Amino acid sequence: GAVVSQHPSRVICKSGTSVKIECRSLDFQATTMFWYRQFPKQSLMLMATSNEGSKATYEQGVEKDKFLINHASLTLSTLTVTSAHPEDSSFYICSAPPPRAGSSYNEQFFGPGTRLTVL
Amino acid sequence: AQSVTQLDSQVPVFEEAPVELRCNYSSSVSVYLFWYVQYPNQGLQLLLKYLSGSTLVESINGFEAEFNKSQTSFHLRKPSVHISDTAEYFCAVTRSNDYKLSFGAGTTVTVRA
């Protein structure tokens, strides 16, 4: 099956610094990727839709200047948490739908997630 | 917009006992339904999905879920659980013409010997 990777898996940073998280589709091209945020013991909340070659679409309540998304190629999307603060500490997960292929059209493949801790 | 409600936040169960995780959804349009599993310290994995056709869907590891349109439910069941089934289970829904997933709050299943 399709594989989505994320890097790094864990990152600890100081308050005020910026952190970049990469999401890659390893064996397929993804014109669209999704970024989610998951707080401990809670569900995934969709943050934004990353579109290759165009601006990301952010969900209501998500600060686009805080969470910068760049979808530079068909296999890579990056999420940069700018001027991170302790409240940004969370588990960030990306996903990508596979190339359209019959009934799997609506399926998504998830990356393993990146745990961000801001001190 | 669609939404998902998982009625049980935590389900403790003994090994080899049956388990049912409840999921209800609301939507004004046709939807696809999914169950994802998240093992400790891992990413989400698709467990099973309902897109169309038979309302009873099964996974390779013994789970099954039944789509009930009249009750807007997609409950997940397994007749006999293993210790290795200890995980977080998420019910999710997407509109049939969209990729965006809406997740339920999750159900933590803890299987004890």
Q: A35-60: per-residue pLDDT in tens?
A: 999 887 778 899 999 988 889 999 99
Range of the domain at B26: 3-112
Total domain count for chain B? 1
Q: Are B63 and B78 in contact (CB under 8 A)?
A: yes
Cα separations (Å) of B48 from A93, B63, B89?
Answer: 20, 8, 11
Say whether A17 sits in a helix, a strand or coil.
coil
Tokens standing for residue B36: 């994802």
Interface of A with B (CB under 8 A): 6, 32, 34, 41-46, 49, 93, 95, 97, 103, 106-108, 110-113
Q: What residues in A contact B103, CB-CB < 8 Å? A: 43-45
B43 vs A34, A45, A93: nearest CB: A93
Residue B36 pLDDT: 94
- Shortest CA distance from A39: residue in chain B: B105
B103 vs A44, A49, A112: nearest CB: A44
Beta strands B107-112 and B10-14, pairing class: parallel
Check pLDDT > 60 for residue B8.
Answer: yes
User: Percent helix, strand and coil across chain B, each rounded to 5?
Assistant: 5, 55, 40
Q: What residues in B contact A44, CB-CB < 8 Å? A: 44, 90, 101, 103
Report pLDDT digits (tens) over A99-118. 764 444 467 889 999 999 99
Mean pLDDT of B6-31: 93
Question: A67 Cβ partners below 8 Å, 6+ apart?
Answer: A35, A47, A48, A58, A79, A80, A81, A82
Between chains, do B101 and A110 touch, taking CB under 8 Å as contact? no
Across A1-119, the runs of DSSP E, i.e. the strands, are 4-7, 10-13, 19-25, 32-38, 44-51, 57-58, 67-73, 76-81, 90-96, 109-110, 114-118
Between chains, do A106 and B96 touch, taking CB under 8 Å as contact? yes
B90 vs A43, A107, A108: nearest CB: A43
Cα separations (Å) of B51 from A106, B54, B97?
Answer: 8, 9, 11
Between chains, do B99 and A32 touch, taking CB under 8 Å as contact? yes
Other C-beta atoms lying within 10 Å of the C-beta of residue A57: 15
Check pLDDT > 60 for residue B53.
Answer: yes
Question: Which CATH number fits the domain that encloses residue B91?
Answer: 2.60.40.10
Average of per-residue pLDDT values in chain A: 89
Average of per-residue pLDDT values in chain B: 91
B42 vs A49, A107, A112: nearest CB: A112
Residue A103 pLDDT: 44
Q: What residues in B contact A113, CB-CB < 8 Å? A: 43
Size of interface A-B (CB pairs under 8 A): 52
